[in-house]
Amino acid sequence: MKVKKLLEELNEKQRKTVQKCLASCEILDLEEEVETELSLELINFVKVLSNPIRAGIIKMLKKRWMCVCLIAKALNQDQTLISHHLRTLKNMNLLQERREGKLRFYKTNMEELKKYLSILETELF
């Protein structure tokens, strides 16, 4: 939405206040677009990473492969809960999976993590 349109939607008292602060806000062009929308991809990434268990898994697996039982032990959590979080991270392609017989090993997919961080930087900075 353009700054000009935002100003039009304010009541008279608000408009007078904002008119005084336009220079302080460094708004010089009333035709400037005010961007507020983030990509759904970025929103989902932030949601996934905002969970402390998932963030811990990403950090723990950034340099090593580990099986579910070790991840659960390291985080002092139930293996079923860890499996749920691993599935969520895998669905976003943030983890690589390797199978050896019945065991599954996981490692952070650093390329995908860097891709999301790049999107975050582009959209917020």
Cβ 105 vs Cβ 61: under 8 Å:
no
pLDDT at 117: 96
Distance CA 118, CA 1 (A): 25
Distance CA 95, CA 108 (A): 5
Does 70 score more than 90 pLDDT? yes
pLDDT at 83: 97
- Structure confidence at residue 125 as a pLDDT band (50, 70, 90): confident
Say what percent of the chain tops pLDDT 70.
98
- Structure confidence at residue 64 as a pLDDT band (50, 70, 90): very high
Domain positions in the chain are 1-36, 40-124
| Among 34, 2, 27, CA closest to 18 | 27
What is the pLDDT of the chain when averaged over all its residues? 92
**How far is residue 61 CA from its own chain's centroid?**
18
* Topology at the third CATH level for domain 40-124: Arc Repressor Mutant, subunit A (1.10.10)
- DSSP secondary structure letters along 76-120: T--HHHHHHHHHHHHHTT-EEEEEETTEEEEEE-HHHHHHHHHHH
Does 28 score more than 70 pLDDT? no
CA–CA distances in Å: residue 39 to residues 84, 111, 116: 25, 19, 11
Does 22 score more than 80 pLDDT? no
Q: What is the pTM of this model?
A: 0.78
